[in-house]
Structures are given as C-alpha cells and as structure tokens.
Amino acid sequence: MASESGSASRQHADELAASEAKESHPVEPDSNGPAAASSIITPGGTKRPKGKGRSISPDRVKAIQEKRKKAQLVVDDISVSFDGFKAITNLTLILDKGELRCVIGPNGAGKTTMMDVITGKTRPDSGSVFFVDELEDLVGFSEHEIARRGIGRKFQRPTVFPRHSVRENLELALNADKGVWKSLFHRFTAAEREKVDQTLEQIGLSSVHTTLAGSLAHGQKQWLEIGMLLAQDPAVLLVDEPIAGMTHQEVERTAALLSSLAGDHTVVVIEHDMDFVRSIATDTVTVLHEGKVLAEGNMDAVQSDPKVIEVYLGE
Ligand code: ADP
Ligand code: MG
C-alpha cells in the first residue's frame, strides 16, 4: 500500500482497524490466521490444518460422486432450528464445480440460513458441509476458517473501506492475512499488481480505480466487494440478494459479472427476483420452501412446476 498511499494517515488506519474488528466481513485478517490470498486452501489443497473437522464417510462421498461427477461442495442433510422453529429441515444441496446455482424461494424459505450454515455463521442441529475431495466436515469451523478454505461470501451491506480508493480496497483484500498495519505498508509485487488490475477489469471498475470507495455508486460498491472476494480466489462464491437497491442498468451489469465468474468459481446466487434469476440461470435452479427443497432443475422446468407456481402465487 505504501506505494499507492504513502500518506495513509493514522486516522485511516484506525478506521480500517475498526472495520477489521467487525465480524461482518468474511475474510477479515485474523491474528492467528496465516491465510494469504495465494494460500487459500482450495479443494484438494494440501495445506489445511489437520485433525480439526469431523470426518466425512468415504462411502457418502462415493455415493455422491456416482450420481454427480462434478460435485464439489455438499450441504448434506442439514437441519437448523431456532427456539424449536424449524428453519431448515434435512436439506441437501450438491454444487458442481464451476456452476452458477440460483437458489430462489419465498421470504422465510431458509435461503439466508442455508448460507449462514455454509459460511459457519450458524451451526446446524445436524448435517454436514464438505468439499467432496476433503472428507472433512466444515460444520463447527469458524467463519474465518471456512473463508480460508475457499468459500467467500458477499454480504448485502457492502463492507468496503470508504476512505480508501477502489484500488487500495482490492490491495487490502489481497493482503487480508497481513493485518491492516502491515498491508498498508506492503510493497506490491508485479504479480499482485497484475491481480489487482485483472480484478478491476473483471468488476468493471478500472476507470474509477483512484476513486474513494465511499464515493462510489451503490452498484459499484457491490461490485467492488465482489472484487475484494475475488482477490482471495475463492473456490465457491456465495451471493445473497445481489441486486437489492440497484438500478436497471446496474442489475444488468451484475448479471453479466456473476455469469462471467462461473466456470472459474462455483457461484451460488440467492435471489428473490424471478426476472433476475431468469436472466442468469443457465444451470440448475433450486427452489427452497419452508426449509426444504421444493424443486430443482433448469429454469424452464422449475418455472412450470405447479408446486413452484403455487408457492409464488400464494405469497
Ligand atoms: P430467507 O432468506 O429465505 O428469506 P431466512 O433463512 O432468513 O429465510 O429465514 C428462514 C426462517 O428462519 C424464517 O422464518 C426466519 O424468521 C427464521 N429465522 C432466521 N434466522 C433466525 C434467528 N436468528 N432466530 C429466529 N428465527 C430465525
Ligand atoms: Mg434472506
């Protein structure tokens, strides 16, 4: 950061430290976390700490892989209750590597709760979450550990650093492991610069890279936050209601961005807006209702499913 913002004031650093303390950002620096963008443990990686998670039965994995060759992340038989109310009941979701999965369903269906379980924010009563090639249950891991293993989450409220430029935000995300002080005075390598440039390009913010994040339009802030997640190279990217509050034009650009990320990443988009889902759903759509999978298939199949029609009309 020194090169771009040598004048970074103590005030800025304090602001950053305060943001760092917030639990809302999934890939915040952590004093004991040796994670770096380059060392995020992707499925099949070898650097993961040993002996932490419960083991997943190899038979279960085999059964899944027989059905789904490209299976990558499995949400397996999850149940969640809040004071006796069942928000999710025996939910299983198998994500293929590189797919763009849309999860839709009426309010209260359990979509956000499912995302909370995957990211370690909510601990389920039962069930597992695992990468098929890791045989280790992610349930019980901290949000930070799960983020380090390659599951990035985009929150509805952007958690960008408003008093730093777009570029600096990406640089901070790239060095999230180093802690704020170190990353502020870090000298960037050519590879890191290239990664930042490439991410700027990807999120369509190259032309505003010197703009303070706090001055960006709503949509641009959302894209920057997606960029900050991308800087961490997540295997799986979870996005909850990405178009809330966006203009029509912003919605279109968001659709294009999310579609472009699939392939290199597995992308899960939770969205209530059917028109938006229709515009991006090239792969499987999962419909949740009352904490269960009501329907799953391609957009056409799901849309013409009488059960789905009934649930959406009954809202
Ligand atoms: P969706 O995102 O599909 O709208 P949620 O996952 O937010 O649904 O919520 C599913 C159900 O669980 C809702 O009935 C909601 O009120 C309930 N719920 C979610 N979080 C909590 C919580 N922390 N405490 C109590 N009930 C909750
Ligand atoms: Mg929700």
First to last CA, the chain: 50
The verdict on residue 2 lying in a domain is: no
The verdict on residue 79 lying in a domain is: yes
The verdict on residue 241 lying in a domain is: yes
Q: pLDDT value at position 156?
A: 67
**For ligand 1, atom 27: residue with the closest CA:** 82
* The pair of three-digit structure tokens given for residue 313, joined into one six-digit string: 């009309």
**For ligand 1, atom 12: residue with the closest CA:** 87
Tell me which residue has tokens 């001055």. Answer: 215
The verdict on residue 77 lying in a domain is: yes
The verdict on residue 218 lying in a domain is: yes
Q: Provide the residues around ligand 2 (an ion) whose CB is within 5 A.
A: 111-112
CATH number at residue 170: 3.40.50.300
Span from the CA of 150 to the centroid of ligand 1 (angstroms): 25
Q: pLDDT value at position 236?
A: 97
Among all bound ligands, the one having the nearest atom to the CA of 292 is 1
The count of structural domains within the chain is 1
**For ligand 1, atom 18: residue with the closest CA:** 87
Amino acid identity of residue 241, one-letter, is E
The verdict on residue 155 lying in a domain is: yes
Atom of ligand 1 nearest to the CA of 114: 6
The verdict on residue 223 lying in a domain is: yes
Among all bound ligands, the one having the nearest atom to the CA of 103 is 1
- Spatial contact of 80 and 134, defined as CB atoms under 8 Å apart: no
Q: pLDDT value at position 57?
A: 92
Span from the CA of 52 to the centroid of ligand 2 (angstroms): 30
* The pair of three-digit structure tokens given for residue 195, joined into one six-digit string: 């990664």
Please name which of 103, 135, 60 lies closest in space to residue 283, comparing C-alpha atoms: 103
Q: pLDDT value at position 315?
A: 62
The boundaries of the domain holding residue 50 are 10-313
**For ligand 1, atom 22: residue with the closest CA:** 82
- The per-residue DSSP string of 189-238 comes to PHHHHHHHHHHHHHTT-GGGTTSBGGGS-HHHHHHHHHHHHHTT--SEEE
**For ligand 1, atom 17: residue with the closest CA:** 87
How does pLDDT run along the chain (315 residues), one tens digit per residue? 344 444 434 444 444 444 444 333 333 333 333 333 333 333 344 344 444 678 999 999 999 999 999 999 999 999 999 999 999 999 999 999 999 999 999 999 999 999 999 999 999 999 999 999 998 999 999 999 999 999 999 876 768 999 999 999 999 888 776 666 666 667 778 888 999 999 999 999 999 999 999 999 999 999 999 999 998 899 999 999 999 999 999 999 999 999 999 999 999 999 988 889 999 998 899 999 999 999 999 999 999 999 999 987 666
The verdict on residue 5 lying in a domain is: no
Which of 113, 286, 311 to probe ligand 1 with, by most ligand atoms within 8 A of CB?
A: 113
Span from the CA of 270 to the centroid of ligand 1 (angstroms): 14
**For ligand 1, atom 14: residue with the closest CA:** 108
